Structure 1
Amino acid sequence: MRLDTPTDVDRGAYPDAVTPWDQEDWRREALDWVGERLTGHGLRASGTPSARVRPWSLLMRVPVDGDGTVWFKANPPASRFEAPLTAALADWVPGRVLRPLAVEAGRGWSLLPHGGPLLRTVLETEPVEPRAWEDLLQQYATTQRALVPHTDAIERLGVQRIRTTELPTLFDALLAASGSLEPADRARLTALRPRLVDWCAELAALGIPDSLDHADLHEGQVFRPEPGRYTFFDWGDAVVSHPFNSLRVPGRQVEQRYGAEVLPRLRDAYLEPWTGDGHTAAELRRAARIAWRLGVLGRVRSWGGVFPSATPLTAVLGGRALLELLEEPPFR
């Protein structure tokens, strides 16, 4: 089956970003690959696809017979691991992630089913209490716990591993790459480094094992197929590191929506699946405070994962984000 070339192409705030989508041969190969995989699953495109082009990924929506939708995603080299990682996660934590219809690991291509309503859409259309976020974070933490035995295999798929003791080195690299910083702000961050080293040493000493950190777990990266159940997707920013680093992004979302007073309950819901390893509640909460700060580094690191012709967002936005390291966490 041969798919039509999309005429509806959304480039968002990046109209000048040069990506493989602009290469006619690449685009045709991708369309043919999708068509062949659809046929293999007994599916047929029912209309012209549409595309979303960004410096960090290419996403194509393909309508199929029966009012269905499938999605083609292409990652840049730095996050090419997402295709095989998604397939592996579907075996390791079934029901918590999307099971791809097809992947081509060498090219970073994946064909994904529709996962139901985005949490973002649900939040726009119906009232959602903070308790829903507690359920979400508890399910996510349970997923991370289940993945601890698979961290070596995840690393072999190409996912970068950054141990907590290695985060000061990452900080140095990100600070050097953040060209937009004012001299005074660069000096403040440089002065923070000894404290950051101490935080990393303290967090590592607690002995909580590394796991998969999504690194960008916001309301647009989660499906809610039904109330109380969540499916996590879009693993292109993922890293193997301290699992608690994941807490910052969803925590900020909740803080903006409901206020900081709900964060202690959210934190404790996230920490509950980690209580079986002999750590006290006080130790886990202290670890969450440290990881809240250090989670900034994983987020900024991910902004370098763009197509080679695009300017890494680290250079443009990284300095402003690194300044968040100076802020006290919004919970004790």
Structure 2
Amino acid sequence: MRARLETLADRWETQPPGWWRTSTIPVSIQHGDLHDGNVAVDADGRARFFDFGDSTVAHPFSTMDLPLMLARRAGVDQAGTARLEDAYLDAFTDLAPRAELRAELHGVIELAPLLRAHNWLRALTPDEPGGTVRWDPVAADGWGRPIEHWLGQLGSSPRT
């Protein structure tokens, strides 16, 4: 895993300057677990989001990894996921052209598993005075080793 992470880091550092250095999209609070089970619609038809336990301050595109993954698992084809991406990116077209936004989205999603792994590290850290974050392997085994799972997703294409 260490060699894979080093290879991924080297690849990102040797590419021409990209979104991680020049993004016009400001960071914001990201839900971190956005799916239909965490959305309720009120009597007036307004969506209400809840369960912000996995939220982070991050690039806003990082939250799209889960909806795109769930869409693919549900059998949505590449054209359908492109429409889903377009619907999300519409809110940002005043900041950059759609093609640049799409490239940035794919780059952010490629690294989004780091946020998910970090969230699990926080969740699997025993509650102790001082709030020290440390690995609890017993808790990790009970949840199917999620940190390793998300780190294993690093570098995955958002379209596969």
Preserved contact between residue 222 and residue 230 of structure 1 (Cα < 8 Å) = yes
State TM-score, norm by structure 2: 0.77
Within 5 Å, give how 1:282-293 maps onto structure 2.
282-293=99-110
Q: Give the CA deviation at 1:320.
A: 2.3
State TM-score, norm by structure 1: 0.40
State the Cα deviation string for residues 205-240 of structure 1 (Å, max 9, x = none). Answer: 122111111111122211133696421111111111
Aligned in 2, Cα 1:259/1:228: closer, same or farther, shift over 3 Å?
farther
Aligned in 2, Cα 1:308/1:291: closer, same or farther, shift over 3 Å?
same
Higher relative contact order (CA 8 A, sep 6+): 2
Percent of pairs with identical residues: 32
SS in 1 for 2:94: helix
**Partner residue, 1:194:** 10
**Partner residue, 2:131:** none
**Partner residue, 2:148:** 319
**Partner residue, 2:34:** 217
Does residue 258 (structure 1) correspond to residue 87 (structure 2)? The answer is no
Q: Which amino acid aligns with 1:273?
A: A
**Partner residue, 2:158:** 329
**Partner residue, 2:116:** 299
Cα distance between partner residues in 2 of 1:236 and 1:289: 24
Does residue 270 (structure 1) correspond to residue 99 (structure 2)? The answer is no
Aligned in 2, Cα 1:283/1:223: closer, same or farther, shift over 3 Å?
same
Q: Which amino acid aligns with 2:126?
A: P
**Partner residue, 1:242:** 59
For these two proteins, the number of residue pairs brought into alignment is 146
SS in 1 for 2:149: helix
Q: Give the CA deviation at 1:326.
A: 3.0
Structure 1: segments with no counterpart, 5+ residues: 1-184
SS in 2 for 1:195: helix
User: Which structure: greater strand fraction?
Assistant: 1
CA RMSD of aligned residues (A): 2.8
Aligned in 2, Cα 1:283/1:320: closer, same or farther, shift over 3 Å?
same
Cα distance between partner residues in 2 of 1:190 and 1:315: 24
Aligned in 2, Cα 1:250/1:228: closer, same or farther, shift over 3 Å?
farther
**Partner residue, 1:206:** 23
Q: Which amino acid aligns with 2:27?
A: D
Preserved contact between residue 111 and residue 155 of structure 2 (Cα < 8 Å) = no
The structure number with the bigger radius of gyration is: 1
Preserved contact between residue 221 and residue 234 of structure 1 (Cα < 8 Å) = yes
